[in-house]
Structures are given as structure tokens and as C-alpha cells.
């Protein structure tokens, strides 16, 4: 974190309306916090008023009067009155002379440059609002996401892109999306307010492919949703080349999601690169159960900016957990993380770390030949193991478990609302956590 302080003296005798100050924004700045003070506050005859404005290469960023003396500017959130913009290049910090009752006024402007940080960001890739069939407004949904500790949220209303843009929420990266909802299947398109022209409504696979290709040409990311859902599966040809990612976990683990996980694993084991994501498909609470962020998809991103998060998803930098504080998997080989390619030499050492593995949970690590390591926890806690892949190909991990005690009851109550035919039936272990692979080439 770095910053600078500007000192400007506004003089009544100058007869100037604005004082311009050029500031070079440091490379890799994620957002800028600005605050300013001035003194004296008043002079003979009344209260002094000093305003501030910011301009960048493309024009005005925003301005505030003397009643508000601090604000934030960034690509995904800016204080009211300022546009959302990536901090870069040279900015003009403009001091505006309002009402002056003193001969001289000393103004101090502090700029704090918050650097972008490459790390895992927690979020939900699939949510709905009142703009389709969800229960809550943007504001209510974003407030809930922030309270749950999510750092990004993708809004994917059915066939309703965010045509007029999405409101901002401090501390939460909000990403526009749309769930193309066709009777033959559902797919999310992320990253564009208006991803395609014309209508979503088609009964022809090739026309749908043209629609999603138009969206991808504009920079959007495409993901197939709940492809093996009992109610609304993907009924067309399920070609992984059509998608950047697959929603392998939708809501709580169950038979439908396990089919998607197993299908994704078969693709990965065959050498196909397609990212695994999870999404809650959140619409509303079930009595007192709030499933927003169930599951949570952690994305290893260069920053919290929506464009960086989507780029990281395309690159396969994801780790999914059913419950945010349980079973998070991190796989590394030296400085390489999920999504990276590493030259295979037969001696590569891979570290697999699991946070808060619960008693009786099973960690399974796979390489290009199949299961490489398996361990069932005798007690709860963190676990770290080192493995050596036996062949070229993927190395990824999953945590398998089952519902027990009160969790089993809550799960079956939820199923009564979602899939009543599956409620209160004996089931096998499900995948509760899953990470995308590191690839050895």
C-alpha cells in the first residue's frame, strides 16, 4: 500500500476557480481512497467551502462538495458521485474554489493506492433477483452476499441481462450475467450487460450456439448449468467445446450434482480443459435456510475486479466448497497454482492443503493415472500432504462426505422443497469440495 499527499494553497488574490494537480497512478492499483482537509474552516463573514474533483484520460471521474471529504474510486465500486473506473495512467486532482472568506486556505489531499492482490476470492456464480423469479431486489441480494462474506457475486436472471447496469456494493464485486433459459437447458453467460442481440428464444441448437458465440466474441464467459438436474437438465448434445466451464455443484450435494462432478472428472482425466464451478442458483430462502453461497466458488484471481475474476475462471483457477468454512482445497507445485501448466519430470512435488477437514471426510487426490492418494480424517482439522504425480495430465483433489446428524435433517427438509422424490433416502458419499487441476505437460 502506498500513497501521496498534495498540499495546495488557495489564495483569494489568485482569482483562480480551479487548481489542477497531476498524479501518476502506480501500476497494479486496484482502487484509490481519497480524503482532503482544509483550514481555516471559516473566515470573516462565513464558512469557507473547498470542493474536489477527479478527472482521468477519458474525462471526469466525479466531484464532491466540501460536506463529503473522502471517497473511493475503483473498477467495481466507487463512492456515489464517481464513475467506476480502473485506476491507471495520470489523474488530475482538481481543487475547486467555492466560497472564500479567508485570504488563504491550506488544502491537503491524501491519496491511498490499494494494490491489486493475487489470491483466492470467494463468491457465487449463479443468483436471481426480482427481475426474473427471485424474491429479492439487487440491494437486498447484495446486502445478504456481503453479510455472508462473499467477495464477488454474479447475477444471472433468467433471460434478463443487466441491460441498464447493476448497482455497486462496497466490498462486493458485482458481475453482470444472464441465465439463458431454454426448454432444452440452462446456461450462464457472464460479463456483459447486453451479451447478445436478438432473442434468447430458440428451439435450435445451432442458433443457440450462434448466440453464445456472439457473447464470447464480446468477451463473455459461458457455463452450462446443472447439466444432469432431474428437473431441468441440458437436453441438447452436451459438448464441452460449447462451454468455458461447467456448474458441477448446484446447491447442496445430491445425486444430480454428483453426476455432474463425475462427468467433469471423466473429461479432465481424458485431457479436456474445462473449468469446474459451483453456483447456488439462489432464488429465496427455504423457511430459515439461506443457501446463497452454497456452494462457494473460490477463484484465484489477479485482483477483485470482475474482469480478472472471469479471466481466472476461464483459465481454470477455481476451488469449490459446499460450505464456505469447510474443506477448502488448495493445490500447488512450487509457485504454480490450479490452472497452470507445469513441465512433467517424474519428480514434481505437489502440495495439497485442505482447510477444516471434518472427521470422517475423505480427501481423494487424482493424477493422470487415477487415484493417487486417499485419506479419511480421524479428527477435524487442517491437512497438508505432498504427492508426486505418476504421469503427465491433471492433478486435482476432492473431499467426499455425507450428511450426518442435524445436517442430514436440514438437507432432507430442503429436498422436500426442491426435489421431494429424493428426500429422506439413503445416499452414498458426495463430493463436498473440488478443485480444478494443475496440468503436467
Encode the chain (441 residues) as per-residue pLDDT tens digits. Answer: 699 999 999 998 988 999 999 999 999 999 999 999 999 999 988 999 999 999 999 999 999 887 779 999 999 999 999 999 999 999 999 999 989 999 999 999 999 999 999 999 999 999 999 999 999 999 999 999 999 999 999 999 999 999 888 999 999 999 999 999 999 999 999 999 999 999 999 999 999 999 999 999 999 999 999 999 999 999 999 999 999 999 999 998 989 999 999 999 999 999 999 999 999 999 999 777 799 999 999 999 999 999 999 999 999 999 999 998 899 999 999 999 999 999 999 999 999 999 999 999 999 999 999 999 999 999 999 999 999 999 999 999 999 998 776 777 677 667 777 778 777 777 779 999 999 999 999
Bridge partners, residue 6, by sequence: 109
Using alpha carbons only, give the angle 235, 238, 240 rounded to the nearest 5 degrees. 155
Using the 3D structure, point to which of 73, 93, 115 is the last residue of a domain. Answer: 115
Grid cell locating 4: 501521496
123 and 104 co-located in one domain = no
Instruction: Note the pLDDT tens digit of each residue in 184-206.
Output: 999 999 999 999 999 999 999 99
Question: Does 133 share its domain with 67?
Answer: no
Question: Residue 261, SS3?
Answer: helix
pLDDT score for 405: 67
C-alpha cell at 62: 466525479
- E strand or H helix at 406, and its extent? helix 405-418
Distance in angstroms (rounded) separating the CA atoms of residues 250 and 190: 17
The per-residue pLDDT for 142 is: 98
Any idea what the CATH number is for the domain that residue 25 is in?
2.60.120.380
Closest CA to 73 of 86, 58, 64, 91: 86
Kindly state whether residues 373 and 436 are assigned to the same domain: yes
Cis check for the bond before 350: say yes or no (omega within 30 of 0). no
Same domain, 129 and 74: no
Looking at the fold, whether 111 and 131 belong to one and the same domain comes out as: no
Give residue 422's pLDDT: 75
For residue 261, the enclosing domain spans 119-440
pLDDT reported for residue 241: 96
Nearest-angstrom CA–CA distance, 54 and 62: 6
CA gap 10, 17 in Å, rounded: 9
Domain boundary among 81, 96, 115: 115
Same domain, 42 and 185: no
Q: Residue 381's domain is classified under what CATH number? A: 3.20.20.140
Cell readout for 154 is 454474479
User: Can you give the pLDDT at residue 164?
Assistant: 86
156, burial (CB in 10 Å: exposed 0-12, middle 13-18, buried 19+): buried
- Tally the domains of the chain: 2
Same domain, 76 and 163: no
Q: Each residue of 77-128: pLDDT tens digit?
A: 999 999 999 999 999 999 999 899 999 999 999 999 999 999 999 999 999 9
Q: Same domain for 32 and 162?
A: no
421: left (phi > 0), else alpha (psi -120 to 50), else beta? alpha
Q: Write down the pLDDT at residue 403.
A: 76
- Predicted model pTM: 0.92
Q: Are residues 176 and 52 in the same domain?
A: no
> CA 345, CA 12: separation in Å to the nearest integer?
73
Residues 356, 352: Cα–Cα separation, whole Å: 13
Q: Kindly write down the DSSP assignment for every residue of 174-203, as one continuous string.
A: EEEEEEEEETTEEEEEES-SS--SS-S--S
Q: Does residue 328 sit in the same domain as residue 367?
A: yes
Report pLDDT for 278: 98
Same domain, 85 and 152: no
Domain boundary among 115, 145, 167: 115
Q: Provide the pLDDT for residue 426.
A: 73
Both 108 and 136 in one domain: the answer is: no
Amino acid at each position: 500500500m502506498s500513497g501521496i499527499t498534495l498540499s495546495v494553497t488557495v489564495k483569494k488574490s489568485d482569482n483562480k476557480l480551479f487548481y489542477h494537480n497531476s498524479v501518476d497512478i502506480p501500476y497494479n492499483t486496484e482502487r484509490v481512497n481519497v480524503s482532503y482537509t482544509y483550514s481555516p474552516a471559516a473566515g470573516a463573514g462565513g464558512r469557507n467551502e473547498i470542493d474536489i474533483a477527479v478527472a482521468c484520460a477519458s474525462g471526469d471521474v466525479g466531484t464532491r462538495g466540501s460536506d463529503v471529504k473522502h471517497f473511493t474510486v475503483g473498477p467495481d465500486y466507487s463512492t456515489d458521485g464517481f464513475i467506476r473506473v480502473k485506476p491507471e495512467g495520470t489523474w488530475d486532482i482538481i481543487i475547486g474554489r467555492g466560497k472564500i472568506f479567508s485570504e488563504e486556505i491550506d488544502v491537503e489531499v491524501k491519496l491511498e493506492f490499494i494494490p491489486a492482490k493475487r489470491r483466492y476470492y470467494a463468491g457465487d456464480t449463479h443468483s436471481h433477483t426480482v427481475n426474473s423469479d427471485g424474491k429479492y431486489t439487487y440491494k437486498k441480494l447484495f446486502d445478504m452476499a456481503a453479510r455472508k462474506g462473499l467477495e464477488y457475486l454474479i447475477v444471472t436472471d433468467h433471460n434478463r441481462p443487466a441491460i441498464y447496469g447493476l448497482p455497486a456494493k462496497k466490498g462486493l464485486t458485482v458481475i453482470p450475467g444472464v441465465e439463458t433459459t431454454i426448454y432444452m437447458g440452462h446456461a450462464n453467460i457472464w460479463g456483459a450487460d447486453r451479451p447478445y442481440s436478438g432473442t434468447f428464444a430458440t428451439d435450435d441448437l445451432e442458433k443457440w450456439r450462434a448466440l453464445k458465440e456472439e457473447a464470447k466474441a464480446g468477451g463473455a464467459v459461458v457455463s452450462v448449468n446443472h447439466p444432469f438436474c432431474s428437473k431441468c437438465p441440458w437436453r441438447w448434445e452436451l459438448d464441452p467445446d460449447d462451454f468455458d466451464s461447467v456448474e458441477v455443484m448446484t446447491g447442496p450435494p445430491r445425486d444430480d450434482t454428483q453426476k455432474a462432478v463425475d462427468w467433469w472428472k471423466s473429461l479432465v482425466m481424458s485431457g479436456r480443459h474445462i473449468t469446474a464451478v459451483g453456483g447456488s442458483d439462489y432464488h429465496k430462502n427455504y423457511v430459515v435456510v439461506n443457501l446463497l453461497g452454497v456452494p462457494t466458488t473460490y477463484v484465484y484471481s489477479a485482483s477483485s475486479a470482475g474482469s480478472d475474476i472471469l479471466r481466472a475462471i476461464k483459465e481454470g483457477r477455481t476451488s469449490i466448497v459446499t460450505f464456505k468454512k469447510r474443506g477448502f482445497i488448495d493445490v500447488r507445485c512450487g509457485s504454480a497454482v490450479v490452472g497452470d501448466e507445469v513441465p512433467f519430470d517424474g519428480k514434481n512435488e505437489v502440495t495439497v492443503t485442505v482447510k477444516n477437514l471434518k472427521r470422517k471426510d475423505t480427501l481423494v487426490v487424482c493424477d493422470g493415472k487415477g487415484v493417487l492418494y486417499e485419506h479419511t480424517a480421524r479428527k477435524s482439522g487442517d491437512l497438508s500432504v505432498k504427492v508426486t504425480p505418476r504421469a503427465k495430465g491433471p492433478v486435482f483433489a476432492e473431499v467426499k462426505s455425507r450428511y450426518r446428524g442435524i445436517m442430514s435433517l436440514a438437507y432432507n427438509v430442503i429436498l422436500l422443497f426442491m426435489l421431494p422424490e429424493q428426500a429422506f433416502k439413503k445416499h452414498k458419499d458426495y463430493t463436498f469440495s473440488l478443485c480444478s487441476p494443475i496440468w503436467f505437460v
